[in-house]
Chains A and B, each alone.
Chain A
Amino acid sequence: MSARTVNQKAWWLVLPVVVLVGFNAIVPLMTVVNYSVQETFGNNKFFFEGVKWFEMVIHSARFHDALKRQLLFTAIVLAIEVPLGVAVALAMPRRGVWASVCLVLMSMPLLIPWNVVGAIWNIFALPDIGMLGWTLNRAGIDYNFTRQPVAAWATLIAMDVWHWTSLVALLAYAGLSAIPDAYYQAAKIDGASAWAVFRHVQLPKMKHVLTIAVLLRFMDSFMIYTEPFVLTGGGPGNATTLLSIDLVKIALGQFDLGPAGAMSLIYFLIILLLSWMFYRVMTLGEAE
């Protein structure tokens, strides 16, 4: 992007995008900002409340718990999906029919509507009539994800691994495909071990795509809503109530618009911070 010329008229080219996205982003965002500083007793009468809701949310144990669950979920999911995705990509055939077969089959979970992903795992894991739940119980493991918090977490994580590991694998595969054969031949002549090839040839070449994969997974797992909502509904109890599930419960379930608005903004700021890091990393990669 170095040879670009300065041309202020380019604004006309981006104007439609700014109008369309701005309409969808700014009006709802300002609505949320309005809620976050006001109190209502119904009848569309609102009173200005300042930062009361923000203080309330920041100090509420409920928000802390949801945030902790969210961070735990994201950490576990990343710790499983990234190594697994890289391992699958390394072992995948590089060319030919089998490479295409792998790519198509592995992409399948990515293309299923999110509520259907939740529904699939729900019926797959049902302890009495689902394939997974029935098999586990038959094998002597007491498993019921609708009642045991640990089982609910395990199912939730298995679902996310099932849903999104392919994204990491596809990106890592794209990075690996970009390595010229000459690199491998040179490594072979030097008598390098498989580990040495991975450490000094493959990993450096995958660095950029892996950064993208990690950050995308971080952000998307942070925003996850539909799949856990359909799978467990946040239960049993509050065991799997992640941030966005809690947010929707407050906003639409209890109609507490003030706290929900304040929580939305805090949530959005966290995501914005992550996006900024993501953007920096991506543009740094391009500058190299």
Chain B
Amino acid sequence: MKRMTWLVPALYIVFLMLPIYWLLCMSFKTTNEILGQFTPWPQNFTLENYRKILTDSTWYMGYVNSLIYVVINTVMSVAVALPAAYAFSRYRFLGDKHLFFWLLSNRMAPAAVFALPFFQLYSAIGLFDTHIAVALAHCLFNVPLAVWILEGFMSGVPKELDELAFIDGYPFWKFFVKIFLPAIAAGIGVAAFFCFMFSWVELLLAKTLTSVAAKPIAATMTRTASASGYELGLLAAAGALTIVPGAFVIYFVRNYIAKGFSLGRV
């Protein structure tokens, strides 16, 4: 019985891969073949769908737009979260526990609740349809996430490190940048990865806050679907390409991914 245990993860992974296989399979088919009849693999293998996406600017600009706001958001979230996480891990101050909880509650805020007010807020301050708007809006859940993850990593660094540096006469910012940040490099990487990821997978707010200039790939997909009938092959290829960034970075954080999902608490 012991020798059969590998079957459980194996079957589970097969279950995970089947829909992804089907997506890839469709992305290499022509729309006619997809709509014509069921075929378990492409009969007329074609790269036409991918060629169209990578050469047509209305398509590939969707990816570019998404990447721009995701990167801005990641940099912004980690930058503001670093000093805050340090404060939470090292000091006690008035209202620290309540503040920490308030931050967490924003990670739990349903995007559906905020979609309309966000649209009005960013329209009112003239940022509607800019990359900055989406990047700022995603800070709502990414900043708390980054603070929590970084606080978890920072609490693992002994306080003696800080004290020794201060005894040696390091000013605070020099200590923070030169000594402390390198000590939690792994934590910064994990926090950045998770900000990147959650900003990449979230599309309700991104769609609500953009129309043309900063349109994310998801919006391109839904709008094309309604405009040109139902080009399933093209949509499948576009969907397959959205998996690429995640699949690419996941290898680097495979040993930390649980730590990130538990908000730095494993």
List A residues at the B interface (Cβ < 8 Å).
Answer: 1, 3-11, 13-14, 16-18, 20-21, 23-25, 27-29, 31-32, 84, 87-88, 90-93, 100, 102-116, 119-121, 123-124, 128-132, 134, 162, 165-167, 169-171, 173-175, 178, 208-209, 212-213, 216, 219, 222-223, 225-226, 244-245, 247-248, 251-252, 257, 260, 264, 267-268, 271-272, 274-276, 278-279, 282, 285-286
Contact = CB atoms under 8 A, between A and B. Distances in A.
A3 B71 CA distance: 36
A13 B261 contact: no
Given A4-B90, A112-B246, A267-B113, A171 B258 contact: yes
Per CB-CB distance, the 3 closest pairs between chain A and chain B, nearest first, are A111-B246, A174-B258, A28-B117
Contact of A271 (B16, B86, B109, B255): B109
A24 B129 CA distance: 16
Given A223-B108, A244-B112, A1 B89 contact: yes
8 contacts: A9-B93, A11-B94, A106-B16, A110-B197, A131-B40, A132-B18, A212-B262, A247-B113
A268 B69 CA distance: 27
Nearest to B81: A17
Interface string B95-124: 010010101111011111111111011000
A120 B250 contact: no
Contact of B110 (A166, A209, A213, A225): A225
Given A106-B12, A226-B204, A248 B115 contact: yes
A169 B16 CA distance: 13
B19 A120 contact: yes
A166 B20 CA distance: 15
A278 B144 CA distance: 15
Contacts of B6: 91, 93
Contacts of B7: 91
A173 B9 CA distance: 12
The B contact surface, by secondary structure, is: helix
A14 B88 contact: yes
B9 A248 contact: no
A98 B92 CA distance: 44
Interface of B: 5-9, 12-13, 15-20, 22-23, 26, 34-35, 37-38, 40, 76, 80-81, 83-84, 86-94, 96, 99, 101, 103-106, 108-118, 120-121, 136-137, 139-140, 143-144, 147, 155, 159, 197, 200-204, 217-218, 221-222, 232, 235-236, 239, 242-243, 245-247, 250-251, 254-255, 257-259, 261-263, 265-266
The A contact surface, by secondary structure, is: helix
Given A108-B250, A271-B108, A171 B262 contact: yes
Contacts of A107: 250, 254, 257
A127 to B, nearest CB: 10
Contacts of B94: 8, 11
B234 to A, nearest CB: 12
B108 A91 contact: no
